[in-house]
Structure 1
Amino acid sequence: MVLEEFKTRVLPVKNKLYRFALRFLNNEDEAQDVVQEVFIKAWNQREDLHLYRSVEAWCMQVTRNLSLNRLKSGHYRNTQELTDGQQVHHAPSPYDRAETRDVLQTIDQLLQRLPRAQQQVLQLRDMEGYAYQEISDVLEMPLAQVKVNLFRARKALREQLTKMNAYGIDHHP
């Protein structure tokens, strides 16, 4: 694989890799480091990347493994900083931006309560748009289990949001 092919096949998935790593690590710097490591691994294995059915799925799998390794390591620093830098550009007022940020934080908190497998499947399917088979490949999980995890994750989120709305908590997506 030459540099131009690397630029067109590997680099475009940078944002997906970052969001996936961030979901694991809850730390922007750590997630950026993981993405950088993925690119280094991909570059070092550039001659063999054609052997993979999907280079993007391979990169996602490497991202998952590196993120898990960081979580297991003793040097990982888990600082759950809220990022105020995320602004919704189409929101016309500061009130709308604050409300949107609150809703997103609530959903993120609900996502954090899900089992890790459900979080991963939900993110890959609903946020990143991966097909079921791609998710199965990335997570090294049977296809049936991917579907079960996605169903359970969606159901749990729906129930929690419904419960919050029933009790009048002012967070409605």
Structure 2
Amino acid sequence: MDVKRFKEEVLPLKNKLYRFSLNIVKDDELAKDVVQECLIKVWEKREDVAQIQNLEAWCMMITKNKSLDKLRSKHVKKTDLFEVELDTRKEKDTPYVVAERSELMDRIQTMIDDLPNRQREVMQLRDIEGYSYKEIAENLNIDINLVKTNLFRARRKIKESLIKVDAYGL
């Protein structure tokens, strides 16, 4: 792999790698470090890239492993991350609606954080990153049926938790 190919094929992946790492380590700076280490490793292994069938899946696997290594070595404290703008309307919402939405997103993020690791990883890759089932199976090195099962269970658990919280007191 030469510099040109690296810039064309690997560097465009850095934002996906960052989001994936951030979902695991829950720390902005640590996720940036992980991505940088991943890119360095890819560059150092540039001679072996010709043997790799799916470069993106390989980069995702490196990112996952480095993120987990960071968590194990640093005992990183998890922080709040799930900041998503749900509403694209031009009108401004009332402070009550904004607070309610923020509270809902915090609850959902907590529920996602409480999922088993495999379910959380599969949900991140499918629902947030938009990977296909096949790509997720390759990234995580698991069977495609296991991907579907983990995603189904993760979604069901989130849905049941939301229904339980919203139905409380009825």
Q: Which residue of 2 aligns with 1:154?
A: 155
Q: Which residue of 1 aligns with 2:71?
A: 71
| Pairing of 1:4-43 with structure 2 (within 5 A) | 4-43=4-43
CA distance in 2, matches of 1:131, 1:161: 26
Amino acid of the residue matched to residue 128 of structure 2? Answer: M
Classify 1:94/1:66 alpha carbon distance in 2 versus 1 (closer, same or farther; 3 Å): farther
Q: In the TM superposition, what is the alpha-carbon distance from 1:47 to its structure 2 partner?
A: 2.5
| Pairing of 1:97-108 with structure 2 (within 5 A) | 97-108=98-109
CA distance in 2, matches of 1:17, 1:161: 29
> Residue by residue, what CA displacement relative to the aligned partner does 1:109-143 show, whole Å, maximum 9, x if unpaired?
00011100000001111111111111111111122
2:132 is aligned with 1:131 = yes
Q: In the TM superposition, what is the alpha-carbon distance from 1:167 to its structure 2 partner?
A: 1.9
CA distance in 2, matches of 1:31, 1:121: 18
SS in 2 for 1:167: coil
Amino acid of the residue matched to residue 65 of structure 1? Answer: N
Q: With the length of structure 2 as denominator, give the TM-score of the two structures.
A: 0.86
| Contact persistence 1:111–1:119 (CA under 8 A) | yes
Identity across matched positions, percent: 42
CA distance in 1, matches of 2:99, 2:5: 42
Classify 1:83/1:57 alpha carbon distance in 2 versus 1 (closer, same or farther; 3 Å): closer
Q: Which residue of 1 aligns with 2:46?
A: 46
Gaps of 5+ in 1: 169-173
Q: Which residue of 2 aligns with 1:81?
A: 79
CA distance in 1, matches of 2:71, 2:154: 22
Q: In the TM superposition, what is the alpha-carbon distance from 1:100 to its structure 2 partner?
A: 3.4
Q: In the TM superposition, what is the alpha-carbon distance from 1:94 to its structure 2 partner?
A: 6.9
Classify 1:17/1:97 alpha carbon distance in 2 versus 1 (closer, same or farther; 3 Å): farther
Q: In the TM superposition, what is the alpha-carbon distance from 1:90 to its structure 2 partner?
A: 4.3
| Contact persistence 1:87–1:97 (CA under 8 A) | no
CA distance in 1, matches of 2:103, 2:110: 10
Q: In the TM superposition, what is the alpha-carbon distance from 1:87 to its structure 2 partner?
A: 7.1
Amino acid of the residue matched to residue 35 of structure 2? Answer: V
RMSD value over aligned CA atoms? 2.3
Q: Which residue of 1 aligns with 2:121?
A: 120
CA distance in 2, matches of 1:101, 1:51: 46
Amino acid of the residue matched to residue 51 of structure 2? Answer: L
SS in 1 for 2:24: helix
Gaps of 5+ in 2: none
